[in-house]
Amino acid sequence: MAETANRLICASADLANSGKAVRFEATDAHGHVVSALVFRYQGRIFAYHNSCRHIPVELDLTDGEVFDLTGHYLVCSMHGALYHPESGLCVGGPCRGQRLTPLNVSERDGQVFCVTAAARGDTEKNGER
Ligand code: FES
């Protein structure tokens, strides 16, 4: 199993159920820095690239407000595509059937981390396997 590295994103207490998401920067498969969101839904945390599958704009535009009024779907602020928070599947709108790009996140000791494959020289390595 490959080693992983954890990068601190925020405190667990920053993520309320169906509440405001926390924005952070992640690296995509090509090594480009991309905008990302982490949020809590029904007690669990999830993270995705902050990019709509219809047009690659940020879902929340600026502020982490990404849940719809029901608190059960993520909504794109541009044209209203609805995504299921657990799967990232678009269930309504112009990109129905497509999925947000997921990111690995973990939560321990009251903190939320982005989990990535460890690069040589990473200082905070995760020894858990
Ligand atoms: S850009 Fe998100 S629904 Fe059109």
Distance 96 CA to ligand 1 centre (A): 11
pLDDT digits (tens, 9 = 90+) for 76-87: 999 999 999 999
Q: Give the pLDDT of the chain (129 residues) as one tens digit per residue.
A: 567 789 999 999 999 999 999 999 998 888 899 999 999 999 999 999 999 999 999 999 778 999 999 999 999 999 999 999 999 999 999 999 999 999 999 999 999 999 987 655 444 444 333
Q: Tell me how crowded residue 16 is: count the other CB atoms within 10 A of its CB.
A: 9
Token pair 């498969």 is found at: 29
Q: Could you list the beta-strand ranges (E) of 60-99.
A: 74-75, 82-83, 90-92
Question: Which of 39, 34, 73, 40 is CA-nearest to residue 57?
Answer: 34
Residue closest by Cα to atom 4 of ligand 1: 79
Instruction: Name the residue of 54, 59, 61 to mutate for ligand 1: max ligand atoms within 8 A of Cβ.
Output: 54
What domains can be seen in the chain, in order of their start residue? 4-122 (2.102.10.10)
Distance 40 CA to ligand 1 centre (A): 22
Distance 68 CA to ligand 1 centre (A): 14
For 13, phi then psi, to 5°, come to: -65, -15
